Chains A and B, each alone.
Chain A
Amino acid sequence: MVAFVLRRLAIAVPVILGILLIAFCFVHLLPGSPIQMLINPNDLSGPDSAKYLASLRAELGLNKPLPIQWLDWMGQLLKGNLGYSYQQQVPVTSLIGQRIGATVLLSVTALLLALAIAIPLGVVAALKQRSGFDYASVGLSMFAISIPIFFLGLMAIYVFSLRLGWLPPGGISTLGVAGSFSDTVRHLALPACVLSAVLVGPYVRYVRQSMLEVLGMDYIRTAIAKGAPRMRVVFRHALRNALIPLTTVLAIQIPALLAGTLVIETVFAWPGLGLLVYDAISNRDYPIILAVVMLSAALVVLFNLIADVVAAVLDPRIRL
């Protein structure tokens, strides 16, 4: 097991270095010098700023060859320095810190909701292959993939907030009211449901496909032949094995979830990273966008690693 994890980590290293290289290219593509990315713009006022900049340039090693600069930049990243926001003149990390909680709340709720909907749907669709239910669930997942998520969000607001008045149209809490649990849930309901629709589509297809494959296996036939109760065969023998590939699918869908979160936060004015990026677009505040790009990439690599390890724990064959 340890050997497997180490081998998997070894493969991840070149990928991570490559990601950092791409991100470094982005830093150089950005308008403005990397110096503006690294230092607090407040330090730049005063008569000696030009001299100061030159000394800083040397001090930060910006006259060194590019590969060395890349290494230095990665050193800064390790120290947690993602640069400064052009607009708000505070470290990007602190801005992200303020917003990440809301994003995690939204995306994790959506993820759990999607699993709770997709697993039963996929299992029943596979058990009743070619039935009306099967076609309906496959068709539904097709619709969920095809409708633009912001359109779904707009329709949800239109119907449930503006016409029916059941739920608030946006934000994370009612203005001027101390945040309470039920208030947050009311605000969370619409965006989380809409966001889960992005994931339900692919999940249903994978669960159904994987369940169909497992149900065709010899050990399932054996279990039925020896007279095990049907429900026991479905849940104990089939489902447990059918869900293993889902761990990989969960990791593969992380980028889709992050992109969906970004759009949905804009539609519902949910004060998370997505809204931060949206505001950064209009302010041309590139360090923020870049930081979110890097953070997402890091998350994706991390979740792929975790998914592989979890799959190996669940299915010893993968370790070989």
Chain B
Amino acid sequence: MSTSPLLPENIAATDAAATVSAAESRSAWQESPFRISMARFLRHRLAVAGLLILVALAVIAIFAPLISPYNPNATNLFLYQHPPSAAHLLGTDQEGRDVLSRLIYGARVSLTVGIAAAVSAGIVGLVLGLLAGFLGGWVDSIVMRLTEMVLSFPALVVIILIVAIIGPSLTTIIIVIALTQWPTGCRIVRQSTRSLKEMDFILTARAIGCSDFRIMLRHTLPSVLPPLTVALTVLSAEAILLEAALSFLGLGVNVPESSWGGMMQAAQSLTTLSSQPWLWLPPGIAIAVAVLAINFVGDGLRDAIDTRQQT
């Protein structure tokens, strides 16, 4: 059956959906909003799969020293670019380092950048967004113009400029990614703060004499966090891609340390690209899998939290 929105059956389908959501809201009397969102998230199979992959990656990153078969930085010139074998499952690189071990340690860099950059961008966006949305007026204008300015710069080019000037390091990359990525979260926080401001419970809080600070912290913040979390999930995927691109361009974390993007730098030479695919294929797949998993989780969270946008 073609369920085209153009056909009248679709109205029946909408009715059915309405009944379902009515049933959902009836059960809401017994269940907390958190549980409802949780149940919706778990119904999203890809999101659950994404979450499992992320947990696995986190375990790999945390226990990297125990899991990896070799020291990721130990060079051995007798093992120059050996293809995959029983001893080295993914082969060895130009300096005879074990590719699998470097891949395992690389998870640490990517996950650290993803989490740290998203959280720092989130904090900046949260504070500025709350202030702009709640106070309005000139504070709002200034913050909004600021987001427009930052959004006008292509993040990658600015990051390249800054990293080229102060030199690459993990901390620099995280800070600079956060500095260029906070506006997205800020705008979302501002938007929801503005709509919350007119709601009865906020007006009540104001009427019984709560201070602005208390209203922001105790009453607005909890409602703003869910949409911000969704935005931050997407942002951490973005951050991982940015770090990978930077490392690929040779502006990533310091050289002996392994990062997925950095491992692929070697493939800029056509000979390596052509005859040593084990050097660049595994880290490329690793980045894609990690980012895809995060994006699936983000999608699941969006559906779970946002009741309006059910497409």
Contacts and interface: CB of A to CB of B under 8 A. Distances in A.
Interface of A: 14-15, 18-19, 22, 26, 29-31, 126-131, 142-143, 145-151, 154-155, 157-158, 162, 169, 209, 212, 215-216, 220, 224, 230, 233-234, 254-256, 258-259, 262-263, 266-267, 277-278, 281-282, 284, 286, 289-290, 292-293, 296-297, 300-301, 304
Interface string B253-290: 00000000100100110100110010010001001100
Given A162-B270, A215-B6, A230-B6, A286 B161 contact: yes
Q: How large is the interface on B (under 10, 10 to 19, 20 to 34, 35 or more residues)?
A: 35 or more
Interface string B1-14: 01111100000000
Nearest to B8: A224
A46 to B, nearest CB: 29
Given A19-B152, A22-B149, A259-B157, 11 more contacts: A30-B165, A148-B284, A154-B267, A154-B280, A154-B284, A255-B151, A281-B164, A289-B161, A290-B161, A293-B157, A300-B151
Interface string B36-67: 00000000000000000000000000000000
15 contacts: A127-B5, A128-B4, A131-B2, A146-B291, A148-B261, A149-B245, A150-B264, A151-B288, A154-B264, A154-B280, A162-B274, A233-B6, A262-B157, A263-B249, A293-B157
Q: Which 9 A-B pairs have the closest CB atoms?
A: A151-B284, A259-B156, A255-B154, A146-B292, A18-B149, A146-B291, A300-B152, A215-B5, A162-B274
A286 B157 contact: no
Contacts of B287: 147-148, 151
B250 interface: yes
B15 interface: no
Given A30-B165, A150-B264, A293 B3 contact: no
B282 to A, nearest CB: 11
B6 A259 contact: no
A216 B6 CA distance: 8
Interface of B: 2-6, 145-146, 148-149, 151-158, 160-162, 164-165, 237, 241, 244-245, 248-251, 261, 264, 267-268, 270, 273-274, 277, 280, 284, 287-288, 291-292, 295-296, 299, 311
Max count, chain B CB within 10 A of own CB: residue among A130, A154, A258, A282: A154
A145 B237 CA distance: 10
A51 to B, nearest CB: 30
A155 B273 CA distance: 9
A259 B165 CA distance: 19
Contacts of B3: 128-131
A126 to B, nearest CB: 8
Contacts of A216: 5
Contacts of B267: 154
A293 B160 CA distance: 10
A149 B244 CA distance: 10
A233 B6 CA distance: 9
A262 B158 CA distance: 12
A209 B311 contact: yes
A81 B271 CA distance: 41
A19 B150 CA distance: 8
B164 A145 contact: no
B167 to A, nearest CB: 11
B154 A258 contact: yes
A50 B244 CA distance: 44
Contacts of A258: 154, 157
A254 B284 CA distance: 25
Contact of A142 (B158, B273, B296): B296
Contact of A145 (B264, B280, B295): B295
B158 A293 contact: yes
A306 to B, nearest CB: 14
A18 B145 contact: yes
Contacts of B277: 158
Given A209-B311, A289-B161, A148 B153 contact: no
Contact of B311 (A26, A129, A263): A129
Contact of B273 (A14, A127, A157): A157
A146 B161 contact: no
